[in-house]
Amino acid sequence: MTRVIGVVSGKGGVGKTTTVANLGSILASHYKKDVVIVDTNISTSHLGLYLGMYYCPVTLNQVLKDEVKIHEAMYDYHIPGLRVIPASLSYNDLKGVDIAKLKHVLKDLFGKTDIIILDSAPGLGRDAMATLQASDEVIFVNTPFVPSTMDIIKCHQVANDIGTKALGVVLNMVGKEKYELSPQEIEQLVELPVISMIPMDKNILKSLALKVPVVLYNPNSPSGKEYKKLAGKLLGIEYKPQGFFTSFLKLFGIGREKQKREMITKDEIKRMI
C-alpha cells in the first residue's frame, strides 16, 4: 500500500523542503524504498532547487491544470528508487492551477510506489490545506522557538479536524541553547511526540549550495545521521550506527558522494524564472 506523508509547518523557513529532500534520498538509497517526492508548494516552490533540477519542461502545475498526467511530470533522480515531481519556478505557470485537485491526481500513483512525500507550503492557505487533505499521515517540522511552535499547535488542530494522522514533530535547527524551547516543552505544547531532533548544521547549507541533500553529500554529518534515524523510525526500523571501520572511512570523506558538483550561478537563476 502506498503511504502519503505530508511534511508541513505553519511558519516558513523551518526546514520542510530540506526534510523532504533528505528523507526521500535516504529512504531510497539506504532503506531501498520506492519513493516519490512532490513539491506541493506551488506558489513558492523550492524542491527542484535543492536537487539541482531547474529546467523541468513538465511540472505539477500542468498536472493540476489537467494538461498532462502525473507520470509525465515525474523525473528520476540519480539514486535508484527516488523520483521527483517538481512544481514550476515560473510565475506564468501559476495561472489556472487548481491545487484542490492534488488529492485526486496523486491517486494515479497509488500501488505504484511505496511512499509519496509532499513538501508543503507553510501556513494554512490553499496550497497547505490541499497538502494536508491529500496526506494520510503528517510530520510537522518545527524549530525550538515560540512563533513556529504556536503555528504547529494550529496545524495539528487542523490535521485533527481533517482526520490526517499526525506522526509527530521534527525539531530542526536545534542548538541546545538555554534560550531554546526544550523538546519536552514542545511535546507538552503541541501534544505530539518529538520524533527527531536535527541539529543546526552548516553541512546543510553547504549541501544546499551544491544542490545535493546532506544525507548524500555528507552522510556521517550530525544532520545526516539524524535524517537516517528519522527515516528508519518512519518505517519502524531501528537505526544501526555504522561500524568503526565505515565511520573511520567516512571521517576522511571516503564514501561521500563523488559526483562533481558546482555552485548555482546567477545566470542559472535568471534562466529559471
Residue in the block written with cell 558522494: 257
Burial class (CB in 10 A: 0-12, 13-18, 19+), 196: buried
Which residue number, 37 or 64, has a Cβ lying nearer to Mg ion?
37
**Position 48 contacts ligand ADP (CB under 6 A):** no
Which CA distances in Å does 163 have to 136, 150, 229, 234, 241? 8, 20, 27, 19, 35
Q: State the minimum distance, in angstroms, from the CB of residue 42 to ligand ADP.
A: 13
Which of the 8 DSSP states describes residue 138? E
Nearer to ligand ADP (CB atom), residue 16 or residue 228: 16
| Residues in 104-143 that interact with ligand ADP by CB under 6 A | 141
Separation between Cα atoms, residue 187 and residue 225, nearest integer Å: 22
Q: Which of 8, 17, 213, 219 binds ligand ADP (CB under 6 A)?
A: 17
- Give the C-alpha separation, 257 to 260, whole Å: 8
Least Å distance between CB 39 and Mg ion?
8
Q: Min. distance of Cβ 22 from ligand ADP in angstroms?
A: 9
Neighbours of 172 (CB within 10 A): 25
- Residue with smaller CB distance to Mg ion, 18 or 220: 18
Indicate the pairing of strand 82-85 with strand 75-76: antiparallel
Residue pair 214/26 in contact (Cβ under 8 Å)? The answer is no
Give, as ranges, the residues between 162 and 221 that touch ligand ADP (CB under 6 A): 172-173, 198, 200-201, 204-205, 208
The binder of 96, among Mg ion, ligand ADP, none, by C-beta within 5 to 8 A per type, is none
- Minimum separation from the CB atom of position 245 to ligand ADP (A): 28
User: How does strand 115-119 pair with strand 82-85?
Assistant: unpaired
195 binds, among Mg ion, ligand ADP, none (CB under 5 to 8 A by kind): none
Instruction: Tell me the closest approach of the beta carbon of residue 52 to ligand ADP, in angstroms.
Output: 14
**Greatest alpha-carbon span in the chain:** 55
Minimum CB distance to Mg ion smaller for 17 or for 148: 17
User: How many CB atoms lie under 10 A from the CB of residue 210?
Assistant: 19
Which residues of the chain form contacts with ligand ADP (CB under 6 A)?
9, 12-18, 46, 141, 172-173, 198, 200-201, 204-205, 208, 223
